């Protein structure tokens, strides 16, 4: 038997205006975790889509166990036991977890669904690998973490043993990431082989055996993780040294820009409130970070703040204007910018071109329209400026359809658009999600530049590294409440973790509450 389960030899795949993969070779050993690293748009997702049969390469061969195979579509891939979790999940929102897992591989007797059988197998699998899911929950009601477990179960249900993970950790909380790493290790112990795309070097160092690096569609090399360092990997990928810390100048605090008073937001899923009585301020010249584990009300709070949803109580003031009930457009005019959490749901019109997306918040301004007619020339020039400044890579520049851009470059487009609006308040929710280390460095610099220019930034992040390095002040949210406020220089990650997990609360004695005693704090 060949040493490699999968070999992709000299793969070339072109798109209009770009060679996404240029003569790339990747060899996957039995039972290894093989990381795939590269800048945004380097061609990682494309290469994996070729392996999964979504694209046909112009050149190159694929071998399974040393035998050349032709993979024309995902069904072929499936027959070769290749499964893939996509960068952007492919689940049917209104179907249940169980239905999604068996979709396309429904067990049946003479055409009649045998759901009981399927359910048994799914429950068995989920217990065996510690992939907790609720088989009867609808996809639209469950967290992204659980959605991902559904995607993994989908592969396992089909008995796949070559598993492709395209940026699985970008949407996960640190705890979930640890669990996923553990699950991956279990898989390899059983002889399954894993291809793992991530931008987080720590994860590669922790779980991968080998790593293949791509740059601008070209193959840069494959290294053994044992023999390398984070710094070396990032140099291989970006071609220069990358700073992992954020440099910040002395802080010059200005007036209050954002004043949030007693904001309460009802929950859509349960009877409780998702955000409970939250109050804080953000001043000009500071970056405040709303930290916490996913699902503790950050999303709902941001929805209320930006006008995507209504709050039931409280008051929000932006630069002295009461915006509690203001329209989204008015908030924007008053100086609010918003980098949304979900780039496909809110951030982009995927079927618009890149340039159309870059003016999504500004197309109505006199700069870009005249008596209701769009000024194409100005839009084009503006788009070209942002593309250059933020290094947004795509096949055809301004006219590229947003849908065809790589995930990270889609994110860069949103960030560019929102920062360039020159907001008084920038609400940045997970602004670096899915970005490569070089791009993260750049975005962090931009956030700090906003702060230094005397603007207010509200950063919402799940990323502990980001939480510790970027902001001037950290607010921890737990179950819809703010449970602590910290100076990042004076707090440890461990301490922060206790607050995020709800074990500590600055404003209330948690121990007492947990024991159910009537002891009031202070």
Site string for another protein, 376-415 (x = CB under 8 A): x--xx--------------x--xx-x-xx-----------
Site for ligand ATP (CB under 6 A): how many residues?
Answer: 21
Cβ at position 193, least distance to ligand ATP in Å:
20
Element (H, E) at 220: strand 218-224
Piece of 72-80, 229-237, 399-407, 459-467 that binds ligand ATP (CB under 6 A): 399-407
CA 476/CA 167 separation, integer angstroms = 26
Interaction of residue 438 with ligand ATP, rule CB under 6 A: no
**394 contact, one of Mg ion, ligand ATP, another protein, none, CB 5-8 Å limit per kind:** ligand ATP
307 in the Ramachandran plot: left (φ > 0), alpha (ψ -120 to 50) or beta?
Answer: left
Please identify which residue in 57, 83, 395, 438 interacts with ligand ATP, judged by CB under 6 A: 395
CA-based nearest residue to 185, from 142, 131, 129 = 129
Structure tokens at 74: 């995902």
Are residues 255 and 283 in contact, defined by beta-carbon separation less than 8 angstroms?
A: yes
CA 337, chain centre distance (Å): 19
Using the minimum distance from each CB to ligand ATP, give the nearer residue, 126 or 212: 212
| x/- letters, 5..24, toward another protein (CB under 8 A) | ---------xxx--------
**Binding piece for ligand ATP, criterion CB under 6 A, among 64-72, 109-117, 139-147, 398-406:** 398-406
Site for another protein in 179-218 (CB under 8 A): none
| Distance from C-alpha of 208 to C-alpha of 185, rounded to nearest angstrom | 9
Task: Report strand pairing: 59-64 vs 336-339.
Answer: unpaired
Q: Parallel, antiparallel, or unpaired for β 82-85 and 33-38?
A: unpaired
Task: Give dist(CA 78, CA 155) in Å, integer.
Answer: 9
For residues 116 and 125, what is the distance between their CA atoms, to the nearest angstrom?
14
Q: Is 45 one of the binding residues for Mg ion (CB under 5 A)?
A: yes
Residue 42 as a binder of ligand ATP (CB under 6 A): the answer is yes
**How many residues belong to the chain?**
522
**Which range in 92-100, 161-169, 348-356, 432-440 contacts another protein by CB under 8 A?**
348-356
Residues sharing a CB contact under 8 Å with residue 142, sequence separation 6 or more, in sequence order: 97, 133, 134, 150
Token duo for residue 521: 């704090």
Q: Name the E strands within 416-472.
A: 425-429, 456-461
Q: Does 18 bind ligand ATP (CB under 6 A)?
A: yes
The residue from 53, 57, 297, 347 that contacts another protein (CB under 8 A) is: 347
Give me the helices (H) in 307-393, please: 328-333, 354-358, 376-390
Query: What does 409 interact with, of another protein, ligand ATP, Mg ion, none (CB < 5 to 8 A by kind)?
Result: ligand ATP
Considering only residues 85 to 144 of the shown chain, the ones binding ligand ATP according to CB under 6 A are 87
Residues that bind Mg ion (CB under 5 A): 45, 87, 406-407
Interface positions with ligand ATP (CB under 6 A): 15, 18, 20, 38, 40-46, 87, 393-395, 404-409
Question: What residue ranges bind another protein (CB under 8 A)?
Answer: 14-16, 58, 306, 308, 327-332, 338, 340, 345-353, 355-356, 360-361, 363-364, 369, 372-374, 376, 379-380, 395, 398-399, 401, 403-404
């Amino acid at each position: 038997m060949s040493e490699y389960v999968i070999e992709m030899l000299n793969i070339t795949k072109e798109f209009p205006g770009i060679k996404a993969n240029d003569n790339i070779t990747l060899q996957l050993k039995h039972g290894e975790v093989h990381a795939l690293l590269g800048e945004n748009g380097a061609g990682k997702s494309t290469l994996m889509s070729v392996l999964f049969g979504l694209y046909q390469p112009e050149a190159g061969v694929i071998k399974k166990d040393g035998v050349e195979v032709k993979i024309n579509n995902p069904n072929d891939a499936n027959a070769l036991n290749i499964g893939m979790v996509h960068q952007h999940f492919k689940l049917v929102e209104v179907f249940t977890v169980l239905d999604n897992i068996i979709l396309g591989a429904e067990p049946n007797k003479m055409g009649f669904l045998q759901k009981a059988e399927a359910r048994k197998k799914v429950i068995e699998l989920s217990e065996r690998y510690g992939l907790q899911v609720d088989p009867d929950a609808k996809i639209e009601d469950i967290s992204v973490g659980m959605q991902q477990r559904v995607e993994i179960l989908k592969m396992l249900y089909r008995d796949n043993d070559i598993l492709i993970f395209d940026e699985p950790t970008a949407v996960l909380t640190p705890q979930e990431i640890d669990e996923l790493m553990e699950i991956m290790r279990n898989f390899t112990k059983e002889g399954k082989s894993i291809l793992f795309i991530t931008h987080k070097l720590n994860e590669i160092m922790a779980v991968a055996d080998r790593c293949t690096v791509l740059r601008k569609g070209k193959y840069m090399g494959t290294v053994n993780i044992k023999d390398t360092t984070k710094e070396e990997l990032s140099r291989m990928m970006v071609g220069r040294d990358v700073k992992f810390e954020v440099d910040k100048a002395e802080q010059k605090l200005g007036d209050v820009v954002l004043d949030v008073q007693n904001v309460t937001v009802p929950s859509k899923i349960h009877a409780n409130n998702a955000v409970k009585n939250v109050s804080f301020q953000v001043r000009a010249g500071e970056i405040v970070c709303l930290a916490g584990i996913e699902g503790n009300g950050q999303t709902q709070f941001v929805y209320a703040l930006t006008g995507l949803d209504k709050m039931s109580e409280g008051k929000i003031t932006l630069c002295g204007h009461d915006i509690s009930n203001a329209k989204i457009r008015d908030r924007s005019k008053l100086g609010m910018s918003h980098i949304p959490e979900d780039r496909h749901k809110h951030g982009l019109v995927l079927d618009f071109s890149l340039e159309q997306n870059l003016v999504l918040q500004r197309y109505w301004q006199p700069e870009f329209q005249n008596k209701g007619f769009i000024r194409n020339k100005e839009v084009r020039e503006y788009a070209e400026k942002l593309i250059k400044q933020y290094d947004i890579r795509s096949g055809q520049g301004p006219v590229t359809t947003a849908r065809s851009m790589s995930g990270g470059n889609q994110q860069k487009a949103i960030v560019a658009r929102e920062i360039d609006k020159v907001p008084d308040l920038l609400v940045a929710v997970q602004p670096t999600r899915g970005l490569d280390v070089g791009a993260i460095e750049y975005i962090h610099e931009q956030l700090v530049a906003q702060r230094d220019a005397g603007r207010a930034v509200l950063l919402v992040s799940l990323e502990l590294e980001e939480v510790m390095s970027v902001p001037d002040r950290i607010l921890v949210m737990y179950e819809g409440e703010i449970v602590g406020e910290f100076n990042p220089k004076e707090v440890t990650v461990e301490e922060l973790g206790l607050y995020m997990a709800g074990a500590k609360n600055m404003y209330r004695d948690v121990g007492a509450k947990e024991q159910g005693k009537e002891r009031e704090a202070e």
